[in-house]
Structure 1
Amino acid sequence: MINLKKNMPIVRSDGPIGLFGGGHIGPGDLNLVLNRVTSVVAADGGAADLVESGRIPDAVIGDFDSLESRIREKIPTDRLFPIQEQNSTDFDKALRSVQAPMVVGAGFLGGRLDHQLAVLNALVKHQDRPCILLGEHEVVFHAPPKIALTVTPGDVVSLFPLARVTGRSWGLEWPIDNLVLEPHGQVGTSNRALSEVKLHLNDPGLLVMVPRVALDQVMQAFQSGQTGRWPARAE
């Protein structure tokens, strides 16, 4: 549903929203996401892959500096939502402007490192909006207060804090119990699953990376209603 009220989400959905960026979208990524969502949103130039595939996004959100005119003219004007401020990325603008149980994003990982870092910053900044990002080899998400993941024993489960985080884990080769994870100190990359992985966290700010083939398991975890949700950060 498109919402035009000021200070309200632009798009609301009772099911997962697919969010597409202007970065690299690998072979099959488009259909992989489209087959799992109920609404489709593009962040600025991310509309191109959708339009060229024959899918018109429900909304295009961004500053429109990378939305080519040939693509823009194929999208109904009531689906275009320019946000002109330059203090945030198009991913940030789009993520904060949608409301759904979960967002699945493609076209945001890979490419320039500074772009990826800005995306990961926004992922943690908007901690109240569950979002899973699809990469070439992994999926990345901001850990909710608790989550249980049915992954294959031996799978890499990397944990990277963008803030000071503490918590408990089950099913990891190297548990995080009694550790303080922080970006300039202890991190948890290249950990491995021994069985089902469970995380209970005391603080927001932890990025979780698991193999790309675990996308459906991560989505199921978020859709279980058992994860909890961090409150929105104070502006």
Structure 2
Amino acid sequence: MTQLIVEQAGPVTLVGGGALQAEDLRVAQTLAPYVVAADSGADQALAQGVRPDLTIGDLDSISAEARVRLGAAGLCHIGEQDSTDFDKALRAISAPVVLAVGFLGARLDHQLAVLHSLVQPGRSPCILIGAHEIVFHLTHRLEVSCAPEEPVSLFSLTGVQGRSTGLRWPIDGLTFHPMQQIGTSNKAQGPITLEADGPGMLVMLQKSHLKTVMAQV
């Protein structure tokens, strides 16, 4: 169990070493100015002109140049190898919400590991920002003013039921499970609500809803 290293009263941006769009980092930093990098995410941030307040991980991927630029005070080494750098960093952060960029769109195995960490207990709420959507763990009742025909995708990593309003295909009465029922490529008919009866449900929405979701996770 990683001890808390970063404790912030406001949102935190977490930068990874995967596919990263400069605009996504800019938006995240605007909403969450305190920046943490997960290992080689430091190189990504520095390349975009953003100096991380702290870099956390096993530090086996960060470049020698980034190490020098950040200095020993800017690096936090967590040596255990049973978890990913994303998980190490997320466990070490206490914040109202974490905006994570650079964790989607590159290696599929890395993305799957990130999604696994996203639904684990004891972490600060986290919203993944990707090239086309945001992804987050549904733990509270959610209300979003979607436009008609807007995509709304659900995918549970365990067995869980839920309720919805405003979807073309309502989820009430369904038991979601990764080996059975999934809910990708649903459509909004207008404003929607979503609820889950337990942990494990991932929601994918358009990036335009980031601020709305931040206020509710």
Give yes or no for TM over 0.5: yes
Matched, 1:157 2:157: no
Pick one of 188, 192, 197 that aligns with 1:197: 192
Matched, 1:134 2:146: no
Q: What CA deviation, in whole Å up to 9, does each residue of 1:84-103 have, x standing for no partner?
A: 11111110000111000000
Matched, 1:64 2:59: yes
Matches within 5 A, 1:95-106: 95-106=90-101
SS, match of residue 185 in structure 1:
coil
Distance 2:114 2:2 in 1: 22
- Aligned-pair CA distance for 1:128: 4.4
For residue 211 of structure 1, what is the aligned residue in structure 2? 206
SS, match of residue 221 in structure 1:
coil
Distance 1:183 1:145 in 2: 21
Matches within 5 A, 1:13-28: 13-28=8-23
Distance 1:14 1:109 in 2: 26
Distance 2:3 2:82 in 1: 20
Matched, 1:181 2:173: no
Distance 1:7 1:64 in 2: 15
Q: Is the 8 A contact 1:127 1:204 kept in 2?
A: no
- Aligned-pair CA distance for 1:127: 6.0
Pick closer, same or farther for the CA change 1:207–1:11 going to 2, 3 Å.
same
Distance 2:22 2:95 in 1: 26
SS, match of residue 73 in structure 1:
helix
Superposition CA RMSD, Å: 1.5
Give TM-score, length-normalised by structure 1: 0.88
Matched, 1:42 2:37: yes
Give TM-score, length-normalised by structure 2: 0.95
For residue 148 of structure 1, what is the aligned residue in structure 2? 143
SS, match of residue 194 in structure 1:
strand
- Aligned-pair CA distance for 1:41: 0.3
Between 1:89-98 and 1:193-202, the stretch displaced more is: 193-202
Matched, 1:113 2:113: no
Matched, 1:75 2:70: yes
Between 1:148-157 and 1:125-134, the stretch displaced more is: 125-134
Matched, 1:171 2:166: yes
Task: Give 2:153's aligned amino acid.
Answer: S
Q: What CA deviation, in whole Å up to 9, does each residue of 1:80-133 have, x standing for no partner?
A: 111111111110000111000000000000111111101101111246421100
- Aligned-pair CA distance for 1:162: 0.1
Task: Quote the sequence identity (%).
Answer: 46
Pick closer, same or farther for the CA change 1:114–1:8 going to 2, 3 Å.
closer
Distance 1:156 1:200 in 2: 17
